[in-house]
Amino acid sequence: MKKTKGMFTTTMLTGALMLQGAVADAQGESHAAIQSSESIRPFKVNFPDAALKDLRSRILATRWPKSETVADASQGVQLATIQKLAKYWTTNYDWRKAEAKLNTYPNFITNIDGLDIHFIHVRSKHANALPIIVTHGWPGSVIEQLKIIEALTNPTAHGGKAEDAFDIVIPSLPGYGFSEQPTTSGWEPARIARAWITLMKRLGYKRYVAQGGDWGDPVTEQMGVMAPTELLGIHSNMPAAVPDEIAGALWSHQPAPSTLSADEKRAWDQLDFFFKKGLAYAQEMGNRPQTLYGIEDSPIGLAAWILDHDARSYELIARAFDDKKEGLTKDDVLDNITLYWLTKTAVSSARLYWENKFIFFKPMAVKIPVAVSAFPDELYQVPKSWAEKAFSKLIYYNRLDKGGHFAAWEQPQIFSEEMRSAFRSLR
């Protein structure tokens, strides 16, 4: 497949799609014809003004509860924080800036296993760039990775060298963002992994690496389990690396083993907090995702549900709406929430928790090379000892002193440097 300045050759550009609340067919092709095709079609984000007007009116019509009865966030997203978000959303926020940013990159749609999959694909100008497919999670989206595109594809302008360059592929998970919503069950991480392998083959890549965090981790690790010959190695910033004996003790509410190292004890404490107080959203979506009509109907309900993913991320987001800069901005937060709202994917994205059959953080026996970046404010900062036990071919491990669950989004420079270092030995 030829390169033409980050785009496909014109013979491959077989149509155009516009998203206006739903994906329309390209150049009059029937949906059935598109589904049977392996074509890669360019895509442009373009929501109608009416959708934005409706969003604003719904926010303004929110029926607010009374304030929480405590002075902290122990009861959930605080009223003052969500009202600050609502005010900014209706007065200062401009979705069109996010839309324009998305459209500066080559966006595409292709049908894999009967489902239209959206992805961003940017080729580096540097020769011999290493292809990488990066997978987001919940409540993330492709917006989560926009900040790393330039640093990875054009490293010489971002503190790197030409030999550090990547071609980058960023797909939207099925039922998320601009990818089609499945109408039947079965789209779990292993099936998504197979779809991603098909996507990279369809793009013509003979060698590549893969990266993921949150849901991107089981998808990426399953790619590693399947180990197609083209896949050189994988990277995770939230690896499934909790030893069985540790997981068993946590689930049964036993005290921490006295033999844990300092790093292992810190990871234990993080996991203990998550399992006891931070897992409620995942349990609801894992058991009853269809019940969450409120987050599909109320933008404020959706925003609060997304903000409450984990305690440390909530703190960083709340800081942003107090005008304290650290990692994420107000616009970052609302770009992602607004994408969920406009694409009507609140419930369809939640179903991935119901579809999933893997146990959170349980090692998957990946046999190909694995790299791990351990961020301190992740759900748990994996100790090197656990990573070495989980991955027989651990080629890179780095314990960072800054960054959290949305590492690429919060700390794009650090994350990009991690990708260069993690995969350098595989080039």
Q: Which residues are catalytic?
A: 214, 353, 405
CA pair distance 419, 424, nearest whole angstrom? 8
Assigned token pair, 188:
């779990």
SS3 208: strand
CA pair distance 379, 307, nearest whole angstrom? 15
The number of C-alpha atoms within 13 Å of 415 and in the hemisphere containing its C-beta is 28
Q: Alpha-carbon dihedral of residues 15, 36, 197, 341, nearest 10 degrees?
A: 60
Closest CA to 142 of 185, 181, 99, 186: 99
φ, ψ of residue 5 to 5 degrees: the values are: 55, 50
In the block, residue with structure tokens 């709406």? 321
β-bridge mates for residue 374, sequence order: 399
φ, ψ of residue 54 to 5 degrees: the values are: -65, -40
Closest CA to 107 of 177, 49, 52, 37: 177
Q: Is 56 exposed, middle or buried (0-12, 13-18, 19+ CB in 10 A)?
A: middle
**249: how many CB neighbours lie within 10 A of its CB?**
17
For 117, the enclosing helix (H) or strand (E) is strand 115-122
